[in-house]
Each structure stands twice: as C-alpha cells, then as structure tokens.
Structure 1
Amino acid sequence: MTLTKAVRLLGATTLTGALLLSAAPTASADQVRDAQWTNAYFDLDKVWSVSKGDGVIVAVIDTGVDASHPDLTGSVLPGYDPSGAGQDKRPSDPHGTNMAGLIVGHGHGDGVGVVGLAPGAKVLPLYRETAAGGDAIPEDIKWAVDHGAKVINLSQAGVGEPKGDSALTEAVAYAARHDVLIVAGTGNDGRGKVASPANEPGVLAVGATDKADVIWPKSNYGSQTMLAAPGVGVVTPGSCGGNQYCIGDGTSNSTAFVSAAAALVRAKFPELTAGQVADRLVKSAKVPTALKGGKLPDPHYGYGILSPYDALTKDIPAGSAQGPLAGTSGSGATAAPSGAATVGADPKQPDALPQARSSSDSGLGVGVLAAIGAGAVLVVVLIVVVVVRSRRRPAPVPPQGQPPYGTQPGWPQPQPPYGGQAPQQGYPPQQPYGGQPPQQGYPPQQGPYQNPYGQGGNQPQR
C-alpha cells in the first residue's frame, strides 16, 4: 500500500457533506452533548461503571490532535511527527482531533462538549506523513508500539492489496509481536473491497452503521470486515470552519469507537493479549436485526455491531493468543531494535504470534543448503516408503464443513450466528444519554440558536 497522495482520511472524506456544529460560548449546555446519540446507544453510565479505559494509551495515527481543545485537555500525550513540522500537536486538519474526541473526550464544564467512549485513556498523536508528503504509517506504527501504545487507531484508507506493502506488513507484525491491537476502517467508497490498511492480516477492520443498526451505504465491505460500529451523524470535537465541533458520517468514526472499546477491555482485562481483546469484542458483538437468522460473518457487518458493555461483562473464555487476528506475522518481521523501548510488549508472551517467512525470502545459509543436500537421498527413500504404504490403505474421509478463519482450534462455527446473541428489543434506547428527550428534526429548530450548523464541510482530498 502506498498512501502517498492516495490516502483518504476516512472521516474527512467521511465528513462528505458534513456540517459544522456551532459551539458559541452562550449555547445551551446540552446542545452538543444531546447531539451525541451514541452516548445513549452505548449506555455510557453502565459502561463507565465497569471501565473508563484508565491507564491505556491509544495511538491515533492521523493529522495530529489539538490538545488545547477544551474537551481534550490533559488527555493527549506528547506525540510524533515524522515530517518534523510539529503537526502531531498543531494540526492543520481537524480529523485527528475528531477521532481523539470520540476515544478520550471528557467534555468540559457541567455537561458541555463531547465525551468519548474511553475518557480514562490517553491519546498518543502521530502525524501520518513524512516531510516529503510520503506515507509514514509503518514508521508511526513502530514508534507508537515503542512508546507504550496498547491500541492503534487508523482511521485511514488507501489503495493497496493485503501484504502488498512490505513495510506496512512488517509494521503490523511488529505490533502483533509486541501485543498491540491495530484497528482500521474499511473505507468510504461503498465498494465491495476493504481498503488498506484495514485489509492487512492482523488488523481489526470496522464498517459503519447508523442509529437503526443499518449498514451505512458508503461503508466498504468484504471478507476482512470483522465488526461494525456507529458512524453516521456523529458529533466530534475539532476546528471546522472556525467552530469547535463537527458532525459527519463514515468508518473513521466507527474505527475510533472500536479503538476506544478496546481500551476499555484492556483496562478491565490487562492480562489478555491483543488477539484475545479482539476476540472479546467480536464474540460480544450485537447481531443486527437485518441479519437475524442469517449467516455470520457477514461482509458488511462482520460478526456484528460493537457492544462495549457486553464486551466488558460477558463470560467469554480468553481463547488463543491470536484470537481472530490470524496471519499477522508477515514478511520481513523483525524483533524490537536493540535499545528500543518495548513498553507494549508482553513479557509472558514475547513472541505469542508465530513468524512467517516471505515467499520471496531466500535467506538460507550455506550450512542449511549443505544439510539439505546430504539428506536428499534419505528424503527420497522415505517418500517412496510413504507412498507405497498409503496405497495399501483407503484414503481417510475429510472433515465436513469449514470453520471460519481457517483451522484455528476451538473457534466456533459460523452457524448459528457468532456468539448466539439475539438482537436486543427496542435498541437503541429511546431516551438519550442523561435522560433528556430526543430532539425532533435534528438540528433543533427551537431555542436561541435556530441554526446551530454552519455552511460547508471538512472535505480535504488526498
């Protein structure tokens, strides 16, 4: 994958036709907060009674994060900009700030501003380009891993085939070996092809849904899709046209919610590996009404819609270290560099995921070649013996049916639906977060601010 100039910020193209949400100092306290329908959808009071993501670092590889935004003060760590321009903390584009707000936003004052799903976590901002405007995502992934991130949010989409970029594949493998979960959006073209890096083996790919749990029409889909999450009409903090808040659609938002949920789970269950965290998110997912009685995984919804409270409270065995994140090693994978900080590494399982050599890797030593030559005759003899004996026995009957993700031991069959959970009745809740009655014909038409939206949108194209 080459993201240079081909990168499309999911939430910035996601904010296609996005409107600006005014945040005048005299605006009513609940104007922005009530617009966050996802707060009631996730039932934040219940979720936060179990976990707020305390102690977990979520890296946001994006356009940088405005740490001075009142909804983010104190929640943004010093980050990294490979371009040297300092855009990790002084962004010229609000997209990274939008995503950080959905993850760790804490609002400000008495019920004012945006709250994220994991307000106890911290965001580590990284700028996504080099000084020449090239793709810095592989470098950023490794930097994030070496500086304590346990979850990496990639609300990005580019052109590229799985394992088509050796640097990206190596970086994903590096994160996997150091127990760091990478979450990325499937893309916003509505095509039946998951964008890169979400299509990379080992990355948790996320699609977008609306308030009714229906997949967003522009959400890309395919076999790599693992989860879906709310992404339509989502309010985010960030400087859009001089205002402090934006509202828009897309898999960027969905990705941020899943990254935040992963932080909640990592705080609650610190002993779980990245793969086991992904497994818990997948197995607790809510089956959408549209798929009731259908086959899972589904190319649009994956194994269902994110349900953070269930992910924190369901009785789900830890399972294998990889969970559903198969094939994460990739080509060129190397151990942590000498002297580098490996804060994210799990000392109990330093190499829990097996490394796989690239098909183009020809690094066989002379001694190995000599050993192969010396044993060639013996190998031929053994093969002949095996063939002769096999002709004396009937061929075994192959097992019936194919489990998902290949042949991982203990993985459940796709039917009945994954996790066996029936969709909740009357979901989402009819009362918004905080017990306020839902606003009709949003934006609100009554009150001192007749039109809280500005004109235009945040739509940079890459």
Structure 2
Amino acid sequence: MLIRADECRRFIIAFLVLSLTACGGGGGGGGGGAADDSGPDGEEEAPTVVEAPFGISGTITIPHNAQIDGDTMGAQGLLQSATNNLLQSAQPIANPVMLSGYVSRQSGSYKLDAARGYARDEVDYFVVELLAGQSVRLQLYPADEGRDNLADSQQFAALTLYDYQSMAAVNQLDDLNTEVASSGRYYIEVASRGAPALYTLSISQQISTLSDPGIDSEAEFADGEVLVKFKVQMPALRSAFNDTQAVSSEVVPDLTGAEVVAGNNSTGWRLQIADATASAFSVKDDQRSGLRLQKGIRQRTLEYIAELRQRDDVAWAEPNYLRRAYLEPADELYPLQWHYPLINLASAWDSSTGSGVSVAVIDTGIVTTHSEFAGQLLPGYDFVSTESSARDGDEADGTEIDDDPSDTGATSHGTHVAGTVAAANDNRGVVGVAFDAEIMPIRVLGSDGQGLDSDIIEGIRFAAGLDNASGQRPERRADIINLSLGGPSSSAALKAAIDEAEAAGVLVIAAAGNEATSRASYPAAYDTVVSVSAVDQSKQLAPYSNYGAIDVAAPGGNIVQDLNSDGNPDGVLSSSNSDDGSGAAYAWYQGTSMAAPHVSGVAALMISVKKLAGEILTPSEFRDYLRAGELTENIGSKSFYGAGLIDAARALQALDGDISPYVAISPAAISITGLSSETSFTVLSGGALPVSVRSLQSNVPWLTVIAEDVDERGLGRYSLRAEREGFSTGEVRAALLSVTAQVDGGGSADLQQQVNVLVKQPDPRELSSVGALFVGLIRREVQDAAEAQQAESIELYKIVEAQRVEGEYRYQFNDVESGEYFIFASTNMDQDSRLSDYGEAEGEYPVLGAKQRILIGPVEATGQQIDGIDFTVSNLTTLTSPSATSATFKQTKRIPPEMMTQSLRQAL
C-alpha cells in the first residue's frame, strides 16, 4: 500500500525524484512525488542535517497464505521452542500455503560470517489435508553459499510425502515437485542432506488434474485409446529416518483387454484397447458397416474407461482427446505466466506472433547474453552519460548495451521488460507476448535505475531513426517504443522528442507509475503516449498503480497474492539477470513497468498483421481502436483502467484477423479461502462471431453462481458463493465451474470452458505469518557507495523488529536524523548477519525491486512523526530454467556488529 495524495498533507515528506526512473521491478523507484530543484544527476547538495529527531512508522502487508516453519533459527543460534522434527509433533499447515523454513543436518559457523553460528535441524514434519491433483513443491536456497550455483540445490534437502494412514511414501525423494494422486491427509517431510538451507514449501492448485467433469462423449477423441494414471504405492516410511531412498517401480499394474503403447508412472500411460478392432465390431460388409464400426469402437472406448474408473488403484482415466491446433508455447515456465490467459493471448497467437516488428525497450539496458534473446536483438545503444551512474567503465561512450552482467540491480529491470515483450518461444524458460518480434535495447537508466531527460530524449530519437547524440541511426526504426519509466514533472524537450517519434510513425507506450496516486506521471501523461495502469490477477487495480489519466490497463501483478493457488506470488514472471549474465534466470516482479510491455507486445501483434498484408498501423489508428473499446475488455472505471484491460484476441479481431470464437472464465482458477464466502469472476467471449452463454454452473450444490453485471448474452461479471456450513474447520474442498456457450449464427459446436475452484473453511488459529520480520533503514550515500563498488552487502543505519497484529506487521523508527533513506523489511530465518537472502520474506518501499528514496527534514520544529510508509513483503524466490547452470545473484543487507546488541540478538 502506497501513500495517497491526501495522506501527503499529514506529514512532511518529499520523494527525491531527481530524474525519470524505472516504474516497477528490478531497480529504480517509480516516478512520483514532489519535484526537486536540484539537477537529475544525483550530485545535488546534501540536505541540511538538523539535530531534531524524526520518527517513521508504517504497516507491512504479507501474503494471505504465508506461514513459517515452527523451528527456524531463534535467539543466539538456538532453535525456537516449537519443534516439528518428529512425526508425532508434525506441524499442521494450511492449504493452500506458502511456507518458509530452515533445515540443517549439522551445526557450525558460517563460512561467510564466522562470528555467527547455525543450529542443527535435521528434519521438519508437517501434516495437511490435500486434494487430488494438488501440487507440493519445495524450493531450496543454500544458507551459506553466497553466490554459488543454486541449480544443484537438491543436494541440500529432500521432499517426501507420506500417506497419513499407511505411512507409505507417495513420491520419489529426489522429486521436489510432487502431484497428489488422491485426496486425504498426508505427512510432508523436509529432510536436510547436509549444510544449512532455507526453503519455501508451497501447496498449489494443479489445474490440469483437478478438472474431472466426467467423460465428454460428444467430444472428438482417438477411438480405442485411453490415457490412465495409477496410484503407485512406494515403499513404506524408511526406518530410523536413514538415507535409504525409495525407488519407484515402472511396472504397470495388471491390465485386461488393453496393452501399453507409451508412458510411465509419473505422467501416466497410453493404452490401446485390444479388442477395439474391425473384426470385433463389424456385423456385415455393406455401406453402413463403416459407420457402425466407428460407433462400436467409440462405445467400447467409453466403456473401458468407465471400467478403469471403478478400480481403486486408478487415479484417473480418460479418452485421448483430439484438440484443434492452437499455437501454445512449450516453454517450461509458460504455465506460470498467469498474466497471459488474463489477456486472452493464446487465441491471438494463431493469427500473429509479432514477426517483422521491432520494439525499442528504452530502459536500464538488458542482459544481451540471456538465452531468451538469442536471435531476438537488433543493434541498440547506451546513452547513459553520467559515468558514476553508467558504471560500465566506458565513460559513457555508448559502446556497451548490457551493462555489467554481475550488477543485477538495475539491469534486471530492462531484461524483465524485454522478456515480457518478446522472450523467445524456444521450449525453455518463459515466452514473450510477441515472441517473434525483435528487441532494440536502448540504455538510458543507470545502475541506480535513474536517467537524465537528455539521455532519454536521445534514446527516443535513436529508436525513431532520427538524428541523435550517438551519430548513428538504426538500419530501420523501431515500430514501438516501450517506456517503463516516469517522473512527476512535464518537460517540453521530452514531449518534443515523443511528438517527433510519433510523426516518424513510432507508437509510444509508457507505464503510469507506482505511487497509487492520480497525480500525472510523465511521459505517460502526454496525449501522444499510451498510458498503462496495472491490474492484479482478479482484474482489480493493483494497490501501487497510479490512476487518473489512463488509456489502458494490463497485468502488473501483486506479489502478496496467490489468487490461483499455484504456490507462487502473483507477480509477472519474466526474464531476469543471472550471476554471470549467461544463464537463464527468471523472477516475479510487480509494477506498472510490467504492465506496459504487455500492451507493447499486443501492439506488436497488430502491427505484424498489418505489415504482412502490406499495410501500416499508425500510432493514431492504434489509439483510435483503443478509445473505441475494440482492443479491450471493459472492467470498470475509466479513471482506473482507461478503455479497459488489454485483450490480445479482441485486438486482432479488430483488424479482421481470423480469430476463432471462444468463451473464457477469468481468472483461470478461483480460490475462496478467507473469511469472505464470495468472490467474483467474469465470463467473456471473443472471435469473429458473437457468442452467447447457454449455461453456467458448478458441479456441487454448495457452490452458487450469481449474475451481477451481465449483458443479454450472459457475458459479464458474476459472483461465486460458497455455502460452508457443512465444512469442518480448516477443511478444503475442490469444485468445478463450467460454462457452455453457443456461437450465434455460426452453426458451430458448443464452446466450453471449465475452471477449478478451491474452497476452504478458514481456521481462526491460522494467522498469516512470515515469522520475525525486521525493518531496516539504509542511508542513501551508503546504498550508492555499495552499488558503485558492486558490494554483495550493505550496512544498515537502523533496524527494528516489526510487531505482528492480525496478519499484518507494524513498525516504528525513533530518533532518525534528517537525510535521505531507503527502507526495506526482511526475515532472518538462518540467523546469519545478512538479511534479504533468497528464501527469506522481503519487501522494500514502495515496491520490491523499485525502491524509492525518502527525504526526511529539515523542519523548524523539534521533529515529526511520519506515518503511512506502508509496503508489502513476499517470499523471495528465483527460478532457473531446468537446463540453466547459473543462478540469480542479489545484494543482501548486513547488520553491523555494533548493531548486534543483546536485545537485538534476543529478537533475532
């Protein structure tokens, strides 16, 4: 939660927006706040320091499903009193959950900090009710390895699930991502294999296997073929918790009447029914025999599936359905990019993938060696003219575009933005909105995430193919400029450059800013720029997003949510920097910076269609389409969302693209797990022909669908109400929400979509918690010096422990001298002197990855209490492609020895 405009009148505070800055995620604060008379190069005169002390306080919001391992490190290296290292004392946990923990087979002193010790905690046990199809995942982060490779983190701990009744293991020890075959109560074991490690344990909703609406006998499927998965029983719980590993057998259970074609125990088997042959069903050789034979095989297939479903050892059995050829990327992390179904992107890819279009990402530069950009890049330029900010050793001669790859702070911002626009469709990592488009990387923001207007202007002119300070022009100009940056002051020079770019035919798209205010942010506020606000997964305005003069909304994420219960924060997942700049690292960011490239990508899809037809789409034509509502879904107030949420399928339909009719429910998975028994969802349609809803219903009597704001075709907003009177405390149930629609006048078969619903009876004892949460102040000069030296850690000015109050945390600093500060929060579960490690919960003001400086004082009085410095924290995780060999590196915060007082040691 950020400071609103009306709150600013209640205390003396100014944000030092000395230049245009990145608008969310990966480095640099979002523009906003009061303007400053000093120059934008960071060399302004330091504020006058007065003796009067100040106080700073605020509220920190945490994810609603966050929990903490009961025996993480405690005071002076001792474990906390609560233990979960025996089955009989297994810790009950919620479902869904995102739990942070610590394990270590040994005790000792940290290599990185010999004065700090770590304790032995060999195993953690949890007990939980799970549903068939849910996924349990363990992510590991070595606690004492610094920048070492995380790809081999499996060596630090193992995950095992045990059936509560039989004590049989139901997964392999080396499998850190386990799908549950049947509903019931389970033990979860996280066992250390050696050195200390932090971990994140998540229980998520697995959409693909929770959906079980029965057999659709009218759908197309391969006659005589069956897909089946058996409930494979592993060896019983190993005795004395030794290192003996359970090994899965690849033996198929007994089958009668079918033979195996392909498959395995993990993913399921493909069967061919033995008697589904012509001789088995042919009655006579006449013109009708073919028809009767076809019907016979189909009927036998359905009967055999019904027989399998009656078996106790079968998890699921279904036809081998035939699907139409949607273009669906096979990239490994694509299923985690929830923000793409939100804008109906898959339907648009059948008509366009952005080929022949170039998008200039004017930002912090990108890691050009990232695997997602292989073959995607055009020559760019580095316009950062301040050497202290450039930090690339070339005295701003503009020859390096990728910055120092070991400096992750600012570089990741541009890399993340570029990945959302056009990450490659290469069967690994993530994929971009317009994955066949090309990126023109232009660096205008330095390592602190800030840049001069003069540098940004030159970058815009370069991208537009106009004269610029580099003395160079690209072979062909960019079609689109993405500006995920902004600031509060209008500039005649900046506006002139943007107007010239538009006159040259370039569409300019910019982030609206992250200050949760209606105050204008530039360049987004200019009439010739498409201004983009951010929404979360529920299509609501993100809590940080600016509003007011907005043209369109797009997914920007909210990392304190997990609305689809996939066990991950609802941030935007895209490419990020890695340790050496060569690996495939990925991260979840939030911000309007993340929303803008979604719109740039959709625009690239549209421009590509026009180019392939030998036509052009001008910037003014794009804005006309937008204002007419032809590119968006109307989701509410124009002040928040402009023309609405960008919709890729509708955008191509507006160009008379060949988009097949579709119906969709959004979000793609629904959870009702809190105190409220209702949630909302939308039913929308698209394609070349109009679609009307025929039915919308749940498959259980305790889940009711209520029309709220629906048009004559049944499209619009609905409520989903769960009647939980029959639920026991903490009980979780799964249901299915189905919509059936008809294509009006099209003569086509009915359209269907189903989404999973997870409903839980809340347990008053399950308060969200991330454990002990510490809030730190960092002086601006200390942060700047650490960045300039590429230091792995930063010393703090002050640190306090926040107090948990009903699922939120409150903090307060006293006796703060006037000056400039950054503020952040972190847990310290491994009890080293370093905060903000991977596996910890972390946040910073106002948005993680987009820190913003706070100016305190001076004042005439004897001090001020500054309240309302609110922000969020979430588990800090990183992803690597399974084939990657390097890990993401981040800067931690170090607690100075003199700050480690006895009272703080007790708190830690």
- Tell me whether the two structures share a fold, i.e. TM-score over 0.5: yes
Q: 1:123: how far off?
A: 0.5
C-alpha change, 1:288 and 1:79, in structure 2 (3 Å) is: same
* Equivalent position to 2:25, from 8, 11, 21: 11
Q: Does 1:227 align with 2:552?
A: yes
Q: 1:100 aligns with which of 408, 412, 418?
A: 418
Q: 1:37 to 1:151 in 2, by over 3 A?
A: same
Contact 1:67 1:74 in 2 (8 A): no
Q: In structure 1, what is the equivalent of residue 373 of structure 2?
A: 72
Contact 1:59–1:124, Cα closer than 8 Å, also in 2: yes
8 Å CA contact retained: 1:12, 1:459: yes
The alpha-carbon deviation at position 88 of structure 1 amounts to 2.1
Are 2:650 and 1:310 equivalent residues in the alignment? yes
Name the stretch that deviates more: 82-91 or 212-221: 82-91
Q: Secondary structure at the match of 1:184?
A: strand
- 1:149-228 maps to which residues of 2 (within 5 A)? 149-161=478-490, 165-222=491-548, 224-228=549-553
CA contact (8 A) 2:434 2:605 kept: yes
> What is the aligned partner in structure 1 of residue 356 from structure 2?
55
Between 1 and 2, higher relative CO (CA 8 Å, sep ≥ 6) is seen in 1
Q: 1:114 aligns with which of 430, 436, 441?
A: 430
- The separation in 1 between residues aligned to 2:357 and 2:461, in whole angstroms, is 17
Q: Which runs of 5+ in 1 are unaligned?
A: 317-419, 442-451
Question: Normalising to structure 2: TM-score of the pair?
Answer: 0.33
What CA distance in whole angstroms lies between the structure 1 residues aligned with 2:626 and 2:28?
24
SS of equivalent residue, structure 1 residue 191: coil
**Cα 1:42–1:151 shift into 2, 3 Å:** same
**Number of residues paired by the alignment?**
333
- Do the aligned residues in 2 keep the contact of 1:12 with 1:460 (CA within 8 Å)? no
Contact 1:94 1:238 (C-alpha < 8 Å) held by counterparts: yes
Amino acid at match of 1:170: A
In structure 1, distance between residues paired with 2:643 and 2:512: 14
Q: Contact 1:103 / 1:260 at 8 angstroms: preserved in 2?
A: yes
C-alpha contact (below 8 Å) 1:14/1:248 kept by paired residues = no
User: How far apart are 1:437 and its partner, in Å?
Assistant: 8.5
User: Given the superposition, is the C-alpha separation of residues 303 and 114 from structure 1 closer, same or farther in structure 2, using an over 3 Å criterion?
Assistant: same
Cα deviation code 1:21-64 (max 9, x no counterpart): 99848987976322211232234332111111100010000001
What is the SS of the residue equivalent to 1:183? strand
Residues 229, 88 of structure 1: alpha-carbon distance in 2 compared, 3 angstrom cutoff: same
Q: Which residue does 2:619 correspond to in 1? A: 274
Question: What letter is aligned with 1:284?
Answer: E
Distance 2:331 2:609 in 1: 30
Aligned-pair distance for 1:97?
0.4
Aligned runs of 1:107-146 on 2, under 5 Å?
Answer: 107-108=425-426, 110=427, 112-129=428-445, 134-135=452-453, 136-146=455-465
> Which amino acid counterpart does residue 458 of structure 1 have in structure 2?
G
Give 1:118 shift: 0.2
Pick from 429, 434, 458: which aligns with 2:849? Answer: 458
Task: Quote the offset at 1:212 in angstroms.
Answer: 1.3
Q: For each residue in 1:119-153, what CA deviation from the matched residue of structure 2 results, as whole angstroms up to 9, or x when unmatched? A: 01000000114899633111110100003101000
Q: Which has the higher strand share?
A: 2
AA matched with 1:237: S
| Structure 2 contact 362–443 (Cα < 8 Å) conserved | yes
Match of residue 89, structure 1, among 402, 419, 437: 402
* Separation of aligned partners in 1, 2:28 and 2:539: 18
Q: Quick one: distance in 1 between partners of 2:599 and 2:509?
A: 7
Specify the SS of the correspondent of 1:278: helix
The answer to whether 1:248 aligns with 2:262 is no
Q: How many Å apart are 1:288 and its aligned residue?
A: 4.1
Q: Deviations over 1:294-327 (max 9, x none)?
A: xx6x1111011100110111368xxxxxxxxxxx
Check 1:201–1:421 CA distance in 2 against 1; reply closer, same or farther (3 A cut).
farther
- Per the alignment, residue 284 of structure 1 pairs with 630
CA contact (8 A) 1:179 1:274 kept: yes
Cα distance change of structure 1 residues 207 and 37 upon mapping to structure 2, 3 Å threshold? same
For residues 173-199 of structure 1, give each alpha carbon's deviation from its aligned partner in whole angstroms, at most 9, with x where no partner exists: 111111110000110000111311101
Distance 2:26 2:342 in 1: 24
Structure 2: which 5+ residue stretches go unaligned? 1-15, 31-61, 64-97, 99-138, 142-149, 155-175, 178-329, 384-395, 466-473, 558-570, 657-711, 720-735, 739-752, 760-836, 843-847, 854-908
Identity score, percent: 30
- Aligned AA for 1:149? A
Higher helix share: 1
SS in structure 2 at match of 1:114: coil
Contact 2:633–2:647, Cα closer than 8 Å, also in 1: no
Q: Following the alignment from structure 1 to structure 2, what is the Cα–Cα distance between the partners of residues 209 and 461?
A: 21
Deviates more, 1:17-26 or 1:247-256: 17-26
Change (3 A) 1:117 1:196: same
- Deviation per CA, 1:389-415, whole angstroms, max 9, x where unpaired? xxxxxxxxxxxxxxxxxxxxxxxxxxx
What are the Cα deviations for residues 221-280 of structure 1, in whole angstroms up to 9, with x where unaligned?
Answer: 11x210001110111111267881110211111100001111111111232211112322
Q: Secondary structure at the match of 1:75?
A: coil
Name the aligned partner's letter for residue 103 of structure 1: V
Question: CA-atom RMSD, angstroms?
Answer: 4.0
DSSP 3-state at the match of 2:381: coil
* Secondary structure of the corresponding residue to residue 100 of structure 1: helix
* CA distances 1:355-397 after superposition (whole Å, capped 9, x unpaired): xxxxxxxxxxxxxxxxxxxxxxxxxxxxxxxxxxxxxxxxxxx
Give the structure 1 partner of residue 795 of structure 2: none
The corresponding residue for 1:237 is 575
Moved more, 253-262 or 240-249: 240-249
Displacement of 1:116 in angstroms is 0.8
Q: Structure 1 pair 94/76, CA: closer, same or farther in 2 (3 Å)?
A: same
Q: How far, CA to CA, are the matches of 1:62 and 1:221 in structure 2?
A: 22
Q: Contact 2:344–2:648 (CA<8 Å) still a contact in 1?
A: no
Residues 353 and 434 of structure 2 are in contact (CA less than 8 Å); yes or no, is this contact kept in structure 1?
A: yes
Matched residue SS, 2:596: helix
- Distance in 2 of aligned mates of 1:437 and 1:30: 22
2:599 to 258, 277, 280: 258
Q: Secondary structure at the match of 1:190?
A: coil
Distance change in 2, residues 1:45/1:130 (3 Å): closer
The more displaced of 203-212 and 30-39 is 30-39
- Work out which of the two has the higher radius of gyration on C-alpha atoms and give 1 or 2: 2
Q: 8 Å contact 2:524–2:531 — kept in the other structure?
A: yes
| Superposed CA offset, 1:160-185 (max 9, x none) | 13xxx121011011111111100001
Distance of 2:425 and 2:371 partners within structure 1: 7
Q: Which amino acid aligns with 1:155?
A: S
Query: Shift of residue 440 of structure 1?
Result: 8.0
Distance 1:46 1:226 in 2: 23
